[in-house]
Amino acid sequence: MPSVAVGGITLPPSRAAPRLKVLDVTEAMEREVVAALGKGEPEEIMSSAFNLKVTREDIHTLRNGCWLNDEVINFYMGLVMERSKKAGYPSVHAFSSLFYEKLASGGYRTVRRLTRRVDVFHKDVILVPINLSLHWALAVIDTRKKTVKYYDSLGQGGDKICETLLKYLQEESREKRHVKLNVSEWTVHSMEPHEIPQQSNGSDCGVFTCKYADYISREKPLTFTQIHMPYFRERMVWEILHQELL
């Protein structure tokens, strides 16, 4: 079996994930990525969309070994939502990285206005990026399957987070639809380490969170591994610069 080229690295056959379809990164794309990750004014705006701005300093959090910041996470979630408008994709809504923190600390009243322009119950999938101080994770609400699941690349449990989000759905349904949510029809579940890809370092949790969102919003199995993170980081730089998911 030949080795697999992944961005700027080559995976030996024994470490390559056989089911992961890797896109070629052209030399032109590589040059753009290298330039974006290179020297320049930290405050320079590299991309702007979804009422968000990503600076060179933000982009630099996509360097290997760095923690992704809120700006990169939120922009990427915006790209996932934008793609979901195309035919063939589940409809997706993604909350900002501050949503869960506000909900957990201040209750429903602190976040009720955030959905004044969207009916979350008309979305198939709701993504909730969660900032746990020095760690990123993702909660996923599937309104079709009536599930709330927690995805953590360090294998930590998030049942309390899921229950908080289910309570949010109850209050949102009562407030916006005047309908009582039948919670007995819903299930919550923290994904076990053997169920989802896990990180093996202390810096890639943000990338795992974004890729969980990417794959789930395409209804694809989570076939990536830790070894693909350098490639995903390069790819995310290009996607943010071009405001388009590959």
Instruction: Tell me, yes or no, if 119 is annotated catalytic.
Output: no
Which residue among 66, 70, 124, 135 is the active-site one? 135
Average of per-residue pLDDT across 166-172: 98
The pLDDT of residue 76: 98
- Mean residue pLDDT of the chain comes to 91
Give the model's confidence band at 133: pLDDT under 50 very low, under 70 low, under 90 confident, else very high: confident
**Regarding beta strands 92-94 and 147-151, do their DSSP bridges make them parallel or antiparallel, or are they unpaired?**
unpaired
What's the start-to-end Cα distance of the chain, in Å? 26
Instruction: Tell me the per-residue pLDDT of 67-112, one tens digit each, with 9 for 90 and over.
Output: 999 999 999 999 999 999 999 999 999 999 999 999 999 999 999 9
Assign 3-state DSSP to the chain and report helix, strand, coil percentages, each to 5: 40, 15, 45
CA angle 34, 203, 106 (to 5 degrees): 115
Given its phi and psi angles, is residue 102 left (phi above 0), alpha (psi -120 to 50 degrees) or beta?
Answer: alpha
Instruction: Tell me the per-residue pLDDT of 190-243, one tens digit each, with 9 for 90 and over.
Output: 999 999 999 999 999 999 999 999 999 999 999 999 999 999 999 999 999 999
Instruction: Tell me, yes or no, if 135 is annotated catalytic.
Output: yes
Whether this model's pTM surpasses 0.75: yes
Q: Which amino acid is at 10?
A: T
Above 80 in pLDDT, residue 24? no
Above 50 in pLDDT, residue 1? no
CA angle 102, 103, 106 (to 5 degrees): 70
Task: Tell me the CA distances in angstroms from 87 to 82, 84, 90, one per residue in order.
Answer: 11, 8, 9
Above 90 in pLDDT, residue 18? no
Show the DSSP H helices in the chain as ranges: 27-36, 56-59, 70-83, 99-106, 159-172, 205-216, 229-242
CA atoms within 13 A on the CB side of 127: 30
Domains delineated in the chain = 4-242 (3.40.395.10)
Which residue among 152, 204, 210, 214 is the active-site one? 152
The pLDDT of residue 25: 72
Instruction: Tell me, yes or no, if 122 is annotated catalytic.
Output: no
Q: Which residues of 6-29 are buried (b: 16+ CB within 10 A; e: fewer)?
A: bbeeebeeeebbeebebeebeeeb
- As given in the structure block, the two tokens for residue 126 are 């709701």
For residue 131, give the 3-state DSSP assignment: strand
Which residue among 205, 210, 214, 228 is the active-site one? 205
Residue at token pair 């063939």: 88
